[in-house]
């Protein structure tokens, strides 16, 4: 069975500071990994995904994540936080087969202060 653990339910940073949101996964098969962002009362927007190609994945809005198999991690980073980055972030894993659902972590709320 697959699972995702997001360390830290709430992360607070200052505007301009580094953003680091942690995600560790468990999977019996090579995983496909995703980061989504959710704003209040809205659906999910894909930030980036890892699908067994390059281990360093660049996404939208300046975010990137690195797949580290040895650490079973897929942490999300952004060099400089912006106020508009404040939202809920979800890490998700799938087996990568068509028709399989994503399994989500519990989410991390990112707060950005001025």
Partner 1 sequence: GAVVSQHPSRVICKSGTSVKIECRSLDFQATTMFWYRQFPKQSLMLMATSNEGSKATYEQGVEKDKFLINHASLTLSTLTVTSAHPEDSSFYICSASVTGGRTEAFFGQGTRLTVV
- 56 binds partner 1 per the rule CB under 8 A: no
Residue from 32, 35, 74, 89 in contact with partner 1 (CB under 8 A):
32
Taking the C-alpha atoms of residue 43 and residue 15, their distance in angstroms, rounded to an integer, is 25
Rounded CA separation 96/52 (Å)? 10
Nearer to partner 1, 15 or 64 (CB): 64
Nearer to partner 1, 28 or 98 (CB): 98
Tell how strand 56-58 and strand 64-68 pair up. Answer: antiparallel
Q: Could you say whether residue 68 binds partner 1 (CB under 8 A)?
A: no
Number of residues that bind partner 1 (CB under 8 A): 26
Query: Does position 60 bind partner 1 by CB under 8 A?
Result: no
Among 77, 86, 96, 111, binds partner 1 (CB under 8 A): 96
CA distances 101 to 10, 32, 38, 40, 94, Å, are 26, 11, 18, 23, 7
Say if CB 13 and CB 80 are below 8 A apart.
Answer: no
Give me the residues that bind partner 1 (CB under 8 A), please. 32, 34, 36, 41-46, 49, 51, 90, 94, 96-107, 109
């Amino acid at each position: 069975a697959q699972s995702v653990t997001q360390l830290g339910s709430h992360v607070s940073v200052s505007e301009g500071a580094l953003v680091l949101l942690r995600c560790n996964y468990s999977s019996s098969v090579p995983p496909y990994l995703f980061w989504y962002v959710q704003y209040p009362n809205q659906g999910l927007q894909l930030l980036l995904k890892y699908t067994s190609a390059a281990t360093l994945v660049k996404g939208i809005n300046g975010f990137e994540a690195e797949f580290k198999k040895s650490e079973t991690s897929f942490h999300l980073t952004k060099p400089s936080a912006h106020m508009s980055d404040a939202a809920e972030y979800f890490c998700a894993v799938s087996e990568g087969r068509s028709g399989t659902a994503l399994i989500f972590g519990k989410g991390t709320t990112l707060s950005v202060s001025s």
